[in-house]
Structure formats: C-alpha cells, structure tokens
Amino acid sequence: MRQHVNPLSQFFQLPLSLPSKNVLFKKSHNPIHLDIGSAKGEFLMELAIKNSDWNFVGLEIREPLVRLSEKKRIKLNLNNLKFLFCNVNVSLDEWLSDLDYGQLKRVSIQFPDPWFKRKHFKRRVLQKNLINSIAKSMIKDGEIFIQSDILKLFESMTNTIDKSRYFNRKDLGDLSFIDKNPYNVNTDRELFSLKKNFPIYRVMYIRNSLLFID
C-alpha cells in the first residue's frame, strides 16, 4: 500500500463534509478522542474496546487504510469508534464546530509522515491552522499527545504547538519527554521503533485557559 500521498495535490485540497457526531455515534454526547493519522486503526480499536464511555474518531488521508480500518471496526462491533477519510488541514475545522462545547477532550498525532526535504515541510500534517482549529474547539485541560521517532520532525511539531500559546507542556519534572505512551496502547510504528531500539520522543500538551482569538 502506498505509504505517502501529497496533501497539497488538488485532489486532497477538495473539502469534504464529514458526518456529524449524531450520525457517527449512538451516544453522541460522550467525550471524543481524535486520532489524526490513524493508519491501520489498531491503536484506536484497542482504546475503544477498553473505554466504552468515550467516542473515538480516526482521521486518515490514505483512503484504502480507512476502508481497511472500517472493515475491522465493523467486525469488532465497535459502535463508539469511526474511521473517516479526509485531509485534516482542509476538512476538520467545520466538523469540530459541530461538537458540543468541551466535547473534544483528547487529540493524538503519532508518527506522522516526516517529509524530510525543507521544500516539503508545508506538507506536514501539524500546521498552524490545524492547531488553531483544535484550540478553538478544546476547553481548559484538554490534551494533545504527540510522538515521533524522528527528532527533527518532533521539534517541528513542538515548535508549532508552542508558538500557538494555547497549550502548555505537561510538567514532567526533570524529564524532557514522556517515557511511554500515556494510553498504554501502542501503534504499529511505535512497536516497530521499540523493537529496533529507536528513540521515541513523546510529549503531552494541556490546553490552558487562554481564550481563542480568531
């Protein structure tokens, strides 16, 4: 399966109208965990099994992976989970505006495509507009969890979030990074990196009380 798609190509710049939470979930007012770049979906499936009082949404730009994840989700009869195809930097803001105030509690962005060349940095998923959309929809104490095994990409992600001023890094005392996934569930890439003894850089951000200014 093709590993990379160009999010700036004309096809992925077409905005999609994503189904509302009332269409996606029977218990539509439950708190939401949004996983951006859900890949094969195993991470969210395990979380959804363990947390029936939460709703989980996986967003993925590679449509074949969404179809694969949905087949597995349906087989597991997970009604508190849904996988959707979209370019989050084009289609997410409108969907977030439909949520109840404070319903978005957690966002995770894990091992996104690195796009190593400087001229391709604008293709990276974590952009200023995405952070602003999340900040606008999340009240105080909401979480953003990010991780990567590529330090330069991780630094780019943290710089983008830090500059927004709407999120503070969770106090870790003398530690610079979280030493394990806080949800006690590993992604496929995380398991691969652990097996290869690659360093993994993780940090949790907490939404502060600064009001969003459009």
Catalytic residues: 113
* CA–centroid distance for 66 within its chain: 14
Q: HSE of 185 in the Cβ direction (CA atoms, 13 Å)? A: 16
CB-count exposure of residue 46 (10 Å: 0-12, 13-18, 19+): middle
Quickly list DSSP for 125-156: S--HHHHHHHHHH--TT-EEEEEES-HHHHHH
68 three-state secondary structure: helix
User: Across the beta sheet with 32-36, what order do the strands follow?
Assistant: 81-85, 55-60, 32-36, 104-110, 143-148, 201-207, 167-169
CB-count exposure of residue 108 (10 Å: 0-12, 13-18, 19+): buried
